[in-house]
Structure 1
Amino acid sequence: MQKSFDLGKHLLERTQVRTVRRPVFPRRLLRFEQVFAKLKAPLRQAAERIYETLWCTVGRLMDRFQADECLNFFRHSGYVSD
């Protein structure tokens, strides 16, 4: 595994490609990835390439989220107290 990593690093340096590291997010924000996971797959299937149609598709996909489900996402992330 390390050998593959070293080779990849060498190739990136050789081609002068810059790597950008993803910023570290608080743990509670990572829980929202559950929401994005539910949204990403159908959004990829729609394969919209035009800005306006992309946002129309996102709007239609939002209908898949029920109010109590959204509340549970916020509760699970620590934003809602019981």
Structure 2
Amino acid sequence: MSILEADRTVTTTLAEPLTRRERVVLSELAEDVTLEEIATRLFVTRNTVKSQVRSVYRKIGVSTRAEAVAWAEAAGLR
């Protein structure tokens, strides 16, 4: 599945589509790294990453990192 196809899938299944940055953060969550390490990779603060993670969780209807990663895999984003 191409990125464009994945975008369509995610957009059509969510009330609020994930932004490009939220998709990046979601993919980073699948790695064994801390929020601080994600922030460093993305050149933002840890609080920015925390806000983006909360937004992703709310949009996809999960409450844990493991659920978010499973959702991403099921949606074909990983």
State if a TM-score over 0.5 links the two structures. Answer: no
Which has the larger helix fraction?
Answer: 2
Larger Rg: 1
TM-score by length of 1: 0.28
Q: TM-score, with normalisation over the residues of structure 2?
A: 0.28
Question: Which structure has the higher relative contact order (CA within 8 Å, separation 6+)?
Answer: 2
